[in-house]
Amino acid sequence: MINPASNQGTARVDTKYALEVVPLPAFNDNYLWLLHNGRDALVVDPGDAAVVERGLNERGLRLVAILVTHHHADHVGGVLALKAKYAVPVYGPRAEAQRIAGLSQLLDEPDAIVIDALGLRLSVLAVPGHTLGHIAYYSAEHGWLFCGDTLFAGGCGRLFEGTPAQMYASLQKFALLPPQTQVFCAHEYTLSNLAFARAVEPGNVAIRDEIERVKGLRAAQQPSVPSTIQREHAVNPFLRCGETEAVQQARAHTRHSLPDEVAVFAELRRWKDGFRAEP
């Protein structure tokens, strides 16, 4: 069910447990994710403390936890201010503890955490690639994936620290999740990602239809995310590295041989890094 959420996009509601997931737009294209039950809340990747405080105040919420996926400033910039004001635990990647100030609960796969105030259990997935210590949070009960900058709607994160093999393995973890899993990524990159997807698979009707759907959402000033794992299997070139058309286009784009899906992924990622066309 989709409900209005102030002027900050849409809220995704699990009616059985009365938990909402609300996107808080920040910077140029970030989404900070606020989960709440009408009283208590947690925030994922609070890059801007002021945005989070405004979201809390507008809804009369009490912050009970902070979750972090990786060390980049647009994901952690508000951590210390929020921790100082609300005195809440800050969960984040053990492997990046030296790069994220304020972490109090260090995590790695196969850890799981329980946020008692929300009745929420989250499994931790290690997903190196964008950064070496990047983690994601998955609720099997609700079908929610908070994946930071690893998987995007129609795309994936740049490889700032990890290898193509690491990133491809991380994406394959997500690919194996149930099809209806909602993908709460951290940026509004969908249209540019889909423009690249169309270049990779110009004959893919699902990509064409998804571009039109997302254009409609953005014209209405609505977020294009969350996506779903099922949708990403249909349109995301980085989850389609074994598909004939994607492989052929990747081979045509490079002079190197592409012996396996990791090599196809690596070439698609290099291609995307220099891609500029808009849909």
Q: What is the CATH number of the domain that holds 134?
A: 3.60.15.10
- Tally the domains of the chain: 1
Per residue in 31-90, pLDDT (tens digit) is 999 999 999 999 999 999 999 999 999 999 999 999 999 999 999 999 999 999 999 999
Under a CB-based contact definition with an 8 Å cutoff, are residues 266 and 156 in contact?
no
Give the domain range for residue 214. 2-273
> Which entry of 36, 45, 74, 134 is annotated as an active-site residue?
74
pLDDT on residue 279: 46
Query: In the annotation, is 36 catalytic?
Result: no
Under a CB-based contact definition with an 8 Å cutoff, are residues 137 and 158 in contact?
no
> Which entry of 36, 71, 130, 142 is annotated as an active-site residue?
130
d(CA 82, CA 61): 13
Q: Which residue has the tokens 């994406």?
A: 171
pLDDT on residue 12: 57
Instruction: Please indicate, yes or no, if residue 180 is contained in any of the structural domains.
Output: yes
Instruction: Please indicate, yes or no, if residue 265 is contained in any of the structural domains.
Output: yes
The pTM of the full predicted model, rounded to 2 decimals, is 0.92
pLDDT on residue 6: 35
> Which entry of 36, 71, 134, 187 is annotated as an active-site residue?
187
Instruction: State both tokens at 225.
Output: 């995310």
Query: In the annotation, is 256 catalytic?
Result: no
Instruction: Please indicate, yes or no, if residue 20 is contained in any of the structural domains.
Output: yes
Pairing of strands 120-126, 155-156: unpaired
Single-letter amino acid, residue 267: E
pLDDT on residue 204: 95
Positions in the chain short of pLDDT 50? 1-9, 15-16, 279
Query: In the annotation, is 14 catalytic?
Result: no
What integer best gives the mean pLDDT of the chain?
Answer: 93
Q: Is 176 helix (H, G, I), strand (E, B) or coil?
A: coil
Query: In the annotation, is 187 catalytic?
Result: yes
Query: In the annotation, is 108 catalytic?
Result: no
Under a CB-based contact definition with an 8 Å cutoff, are residues 34 and 43 in contact?
yes
Query: In the annotation, is 116 catalytic?
Result: no
> Which entry of 36, 40, 71, 75 is annotated as an active-site residue?
75
d(CA 82, CA 53): 8
> Which entry of 36, 70, 134, 142 is annotated as an active-site residue?
70
d(CA 144, CA 12): 10
Instruction: Please indicate, yes or no, if residue 143 is contained in any of the structural domains.
Output: yes
> Which entry of 72, 108, 233, 260 is annotated as an active-site residue?
72
Query: In the annotation, is 149 catalytic?
Result: yes
Instruction: Please indicate, yes or no, if residue 116 is contained in any of the structural domains.
Output: yes
Instruction: Please indicate, yes or no, if residue 279 is contained in any of the structural domains.
Output: no
Instruction: Please indicate, yes or no, if residue 278 is contained in any of the structural domains.
Output: no
> Which entry of 14, 40, 45, 149 is annotated as an active-site residue?
149
d(CA 197, CA 264): 14
